[in-house]
Structure 1
Amino acid sequence: MTSHPNLSTARERARVPEDLTRLFVERANAGDAAGIAELYEPDAVMAYPPGGRTVGRDAIRALWERVLTHAPRFEPEEPLPTLVSGDIALTSTAPRDGAGARAQVVRRQPDGTWLRLLDQPEFTATD
């Protein structure tokens, strides 16, 4: 096994843009906030909480640490066709919860893997 000094653990990396959604669901259901954060670029922006923004990998990790304390269960969602232009791609899913489309802008990294740059999760508020 090759050592990756930049990774705290040997987590699977996204080889194609569509891998990011699957990896997110797997890590969220495992309660792995640090693993979720690794799916984002260091300066990524997530449109969450509703009406707000979470900026940067560290803030995204902290947000998911809080969210995952409630042990939410995430279900895989069918990806819509991915749009790719060079090293940038737009991924999206049609959410099962009726929240509208979830969309992410992702970027190919120098090693060929993909990370999220912008994330519009479109969560539905629950009362």
Structure 2
Amino acid sequence: MDDGQGHERAGRPGDLSRFVVERLNAGDVDGLVALYEPDAVLALPNGLIATGSSEIRKAYEHLVADKPTFAPGQQLTTLRTGDLALTSTRLVDGGVTVE
């Protein structure tokens, strides 16, 4: 499924982590921002918060500027209730992401 801008849409919650890693490694800021709702909130590792598409875009532009390489982590069990899902991934460096 395409989001209308050439980016594959997540068909299930487990797709999200894969898309984030692929798009980070490609430096695809537009594709990363497309994963979020327009009024989403992104908690950044430095303790700052990015709210809305514009701030999330700036955060990802900064993150990919030096072209780092990101490795996929271990996807943990997805928690679901109704139409909401909570996904998490244990990163190679020991950190954890939660979406």
Aligned equivalents of 1:49, 1:84: Cα separation in 2:
25
> What root-mean-square deviation, in Å, do the aligned CA atoms of Structure 1 and Structure 2 show?
1.5
Give the number of equivalent residue pairs.
98
Q: Shift of the alpha carbon at 1:17?
A: 0.4
- Which residue number in structure 1 is paired with residue 58 of structure 2? 62
- Which residue number in structure 2 is paired with residue 102 of structure 1? 97
Aligned equivalents of 1:57, 1:33: Cα separation in 2:
11
Q: Unpaired segments of 5 or more residues in structure 2? A: none
Matched to 1:102, the amino acid is T
- Which residue number in structure 2 is paired with residue 30 of structure 1? 26
So what's the TM-score if we normalise by structure 1?
A: 0.72
Q: Shift of the alpha carbon at 1:79?
A: 0.6
Deviations 1:43-87 (A, max 9, x none): 111111512101112211121112111101111112100011111
Larger RCO, structures 1/2 (Cα 8 Å, 6+ apart): 1
So what's the TM-score if we normalise by structure 2?
A: 0.91
Q: Paired residue for 1:86, among 82, 87, 91? A: 82
Q: Paired residue for 2:47, among 44, 51, 55? A: 51
Q: Unpaired segments of 5 or more residues in structure 1? A: 105-127
Higher relative helix content: 2
Matched to 1:53, the amino acid is I
**3-state SS, counterpart of residue 41 of structure 1:** coil
